[in-house]
Structure 1
Amino acid sequence: MKKSTITALLLLLIGITLLLPSLNATRGGAYYSDQVAVLMYHHIHDTDESSSTITSALFEQQLTYMRDKGYQFISLAEFENFMKGGAVPDNAVFVTFDDGYESFYSHAYPILGKFGVPATVFVITDKQDNPQEYQPPYMTPVQVWEMTSARPGIISAQCHTHGMHNDPVTPYMTHRLVIDGAKETEEQYRSRIAADTAACIERMTPLGPEPINALAYPYGVYDRTSAELLKEAGIDFAFTIVPEMATRSRNPLQIPRINAGSPNISPERLHQTILRRIVANPKAAS
């Protein structure tokens, strides 16, 4: 065999070898292990527009792309088990929605069912008193119960507080509010957090088969004291808006999430965002 032919074959083999990891990932190999990309969405709608609203088409495109890329979608129970030491599949993704808009029921839920994707929606329970008075409107308790009972363990509903999602400038979760002209005392603040959390858990408990033990912080705002108060009230897992991967070494009351619910986040961009957030050594991550 001529030397030039041998050289060409060697170069071809080297090229194939370099390409194999990429091909393996595309066909369902491991981008990452022992960690979870927790995705955050808010509103799925085909005419409403905002920085936290995406169309049904884009949501479906994201799920299709991720499925084809080998991502594995897990449920809340599977995620919680992972945080307690259990295993998750490679390329694990956990889908979450904040606020409890009616669009979760009318737009997101059918698409999630089409793809067999689990998801958890964090509900603001005081909005359920008059859900249609808001824009966008919120889900009713009946709509929440309909989804969680139809797909138990797959679609779950948890807390986004009862009445603390009202003011992004002065977050109720961490600020000492002025009540009747006087700033609330530390005791009043602690009582307010405890009472609000208890109210949310009480409202959500009849709306699904799973225990209510998870919460998404309003506007992603929290501090050590508010997290401790949630824990005392029965919340074991709390979700932030810090755009990182979730690992077991994370504080379960400070779980990060990657935003996927903005209109400029294409499937390819979401994929690249996750790849940039991969933790090289998840057991050592903090």
Structure 2
Amino acid sequence: MYVNFLPSFVSANNVIYSKEVAVLVYHHIDDQVQGSVTISTKLFERQLAAMQRQGYNFITMEQFKKFMKEGAKVPDNAVLITFDDGYESFYTNAYPILRKMRVPAVNFVITKDLDNPTATLLPSLSREQIRTMRKEFANIDFQLHSDALHIMKDGKPMLNNKFAINGTMETDDDLKRRVIADTKTCMTKLKEVNAAKSIDAYAYPFGSYDEHTISYLNEAGVHYAFTTKAGLATVQTDPMQIPRINAGSPYIRPHSINNLINQEKHRQSE
């Protein structure tokens, strides 16, 4: 069933919100595969076009960071487009649309997959593809989604849980060292391909984290982190707990994104 709220009719002149940013999250764009976080190229393009008609303004990752850090001005109805997981479909299916429409975006990459992009269940981005996109359209950024911690072990996310290594349970210090080392590896790999002006933003694998995770990532040089919790980002938002709205579902019609954003706007103002 489609998420098909009655459309609220807005035009490009309407100020829906100001001094806030709606961060949208996508995963996989594909015309053959179906899934809960997979949408077609046609739906993706229609979503972006509908948002442009409705008066939304797409911003870059750098604009977003300056807004969060310094309270720098962003346009009314500001939207940041994010992708998780670094799938090759970003290059083959999403990027041509983003480039044609001049829409900035950021993709959070699992960097261990750069070493063998075709070994994953869904093919991943290659280093050359990232370099090509950065060269052709500088408003496409690539940021951190861990190197090798996007894994569930014993039913728990590896980023913020201790596990037995060679029969010995990790200590708090072991976990801290593991997270910091993995994050720095991720940063190094992205720096090597000129993935962004500054590589200091992270999307939590599986949306799982705690106060210790935040501390470890801060120590590794991460200043912004994105969750899977819904909401709009303001200058008061904790930069290590940035909310995002899921737009990458096949059940979300183009005009429905406006309604999802409005829902969060009204919920936050209550």
Q: Do they superpose with TM above 0.5? A: yes
CA–CA distance in structure 1, aligned partners of residues 207 and 136 of structure 2? 30
Residue 267 of structure 1 aligns to a residue whose secondary structure is coil
Query: Is the contact between residue 231 and residue 268 of structure 2 (CA under 8 Å) also seen in structure 1?
Result: no
Give the gaps of 5 or more residues in structure 2. 1-7
* RMSD value, Cα: 1.6
Note the C-alpha offset of 1:269.
1.7
Residue in structure 1 matching 2:239, options 252, 256, 260:
252
1:147 aligns with 2:133: yes
1:175 aligns with 2:146: no
CA–CA distance in structure 2, aligned partners of residues 51 and 86 of structure 1? 35
Query: Is the contact between residue 245 and residue 279 of structure 1 (CA under 8 Å) also seen in structure 2?
Result: no
Give the gaps of 5 or more residues in structure 1. 1-21
1:26 aligns with 2:30: no
Residue in structure 1 matching 2:186, options 192, 200, 207:
200
Residue 121 of structure 1 aligns to a residue whose secondary structure is strand
Q: Identity over aligned residues, as a percent?
A: 42
Normalising by the residue count of structure 1, what TM-score does the alignment of the two structures yield? 0.88
In structure 2, the residue matched to 1:121 is 107
In structure 2, the residue matched to 1:166 is 151
Residue 238 of structure 1 aligns to a residue whose secondary structure is strand
What whole-Å deviation, never above 9, does each CA across 1:120-159 have from its counterpart, x for those lacking one?
Answer: 000000011111011210011111111112222x001011
- When you count helix as a share of all residues, which structure comes out higher? 1
CA–CA distance in structure 2, aligned partners of residues 28 and 45 of structure 1? 33
Query: Is the contact between residue 127 and residue 193 of structure 2 (CA under 8 Å) also seen in structure 1?
Result: yes
Aligned length: 260
CA–CA distance in structure 1, aligned partners of residues 91 and 79 of structure 2? 21
Deviation beyond 2 Å, 4+ runs, structure 1: 279-282
Query: Is the contact between residue 150 and residue 205 of structure 2 (CA under 8 Å) also seen in structure 1?
Result: yes
1:75 aligns with 2:60: yes
The structure with the largest alpha-carbon Rg is 1
What whole-Å deviation, never above 9, does each CA across 1:48-97 have from its counterpart, x for those lacking one?
Answer: 11111000000001001000000000000000011021011000000000
Instruction: Give the stretch that moved more between structures: 246-255 or 206-215.
Output: 206-215
In structure 2, the residue matched to 1:103 is 89
In structure 1, the residue matched to 2:116 is 130
In structure 2, the residue matched to 1:212 is 199
CA–CA distance in structure 2, aligned partners of residues 129 and 92 of structure 1? 35
Where relative contact order (Cα < 8 A, 6+ residues apart) is larger, the structure is: 2
Residue 93 of structure 2 aligns to a residue whose secondary structure is helix
In structure 2, the residue matched to 1:5 is none
Note the C-alpha offset of 1:280.
8.3
Normalising by the residue count of structure 2, what TM-score does the alignment of the two structures yield? 0.93
CA–CA distance in structure 2, aligned partners of residues 140 and 147 of structure 1? 11
